[in-house]
Every structure is written in C-alpha cells, then in structure tokens.
Amino acid sequence: MANKSGSKPRKLSVYLYIPNIIGYIRVLINCVAFSQCFTNKMFFSILYFFSFVCDGVDGWCARKFNQVSTFGAVLDMVTDRISTTCILVILSQAYRPGMIFLSLLALDIASHWLQMYSTFLLGKVSHKDVKDSTNWLFKAYYGNRMFMAYCCVSCEVLYIILFLISENQNRNLIDVLSSNLQKNLLLSLLVAISSVGWIIKQAVNIIQMKTAADVCVLYDIKEKQKR
C-alpha cells in the first residue's frame, strides 16, 4: 500500500511538468483555432502559429528544467501530427488538386509513426537520435536545432499563407498562388523562403520513412533468424 500511494505523487508530477502543461495549453489553443478557421481566418492563423511557437517553448522548458519525459514527447508529437493533419485536410478542400495535400498528410503521419516505432525497436530514448544514420541531410536536420526550426517554421508559415490566400473551394493551387504573388512582392519573398524549408522537410520525411522502414524490416529478419 505504501508503494502504491507513494507512486501517485511521482506520476502526477510528470503530468504537471511545465513542458507538459504547455502541451495541454497547445491542445486547447488548437481546438479554439480550428473551431474558428472558417469564420475568422486571421484569428485562426494567429492562434495556430502561437501554438506552433509553444511547441518550441515546451522543448526549451523540458531541457531547462530537466523535465524531459516520454509522455511529453508523445504528447508533443501527437499534437503536432493532429494540427498538421487538420490544416492539410482544410487545404485539400480549398485547392485543386486536393490530393497534393492529402499525400503530404500521409507522408507526415507515416514517416513520424515509423520513426517513433523504429526508435523503440532500437532501444533509443528519443526519435531525434539519428547519430548512426549515414544520410547527411537526416543527421543535419535532427542534429542542428536552428536548421530544424527553420524547416518546421517554413512549413507552417507556407501552410498558413496558403490558407489565408484561399478564396473559394476547389480553386487551382497554381492559379491562386500566381495571382497573389504577382500583386505582393513581400508575399513572394516569404513564400520563396518558406518553400525552401518546406522542400527540405518533405525530403527529410521521405528519408525518415525509408530509414525507419529499413529498421523495422531488419528487426523482422533478426527475429526470424532467432527461431
């Protein structure tokens, strides 16, 4: 009985880690944001981006206060994946061809799911531990926080821009982009800068998916050889 009662405060303390509390706030912010996305685009965009900024803040807090936790990492990734999924689904309805955004959605979920699963198969603590990878871009992405931040911010900024300039449903993506970029030089520059980071992040997702899939296959082969 003493052990059980003694474990409860420790369990609760993990749930109440500062970065995890920020994670809960992110979930609430995203719920409010997406509930308003069709009625107030600017309000949605501000909340969505603020939630994304909190994603960086909770990571900093986890390291600063020595409150890194598996639960926090899972909460962080699940929140990221759900928010990205939601905005990509919205964009798939706003533009033609919508399959572009649905394909990006599938790539994002598949690559991160496989990466998380392969991390546990290898006995690693973090899915960002890719020191043993032979791919320089993959190692640079997870090994340099500033580079990773640039790619992630670029991706989210590009999606927000596409959301803000969307007009009626099922408009051609290229037509909408062309008409808006010709009118606004600053917007053109922002799209160009964010597109570079977006391209790198999608390349990393593909590399991540293939690398993680290889780990799963090699694990299966080793398990069969043991029998």
Catalytic residues: 80
Residues 59-92 as b or e (16 or more Cβ within 10 Å = b): bebbeeeebebeebbebbbebbeebbbbbbebbb
User: CB within 8 A of 153, min separation 6: which ones?
Assistant: 52, 194, 197
Tell me the CA end-to-end span of the chain in Å, nearest whole number: 42
Q: Count CA atoms within 13 Å of residue 119 on its CB side.
A: 19
Residue with the two structure tokens 């603590």: 125
From CA 216, how far away is CA 208, in angstroms rounded?
Answer: 12
From CA 72, how far away is CA 146, in angstroms rounded?
Answer: 21
Beta bridge partners of 172: 96
Structure tokens, 98 = 């919508």
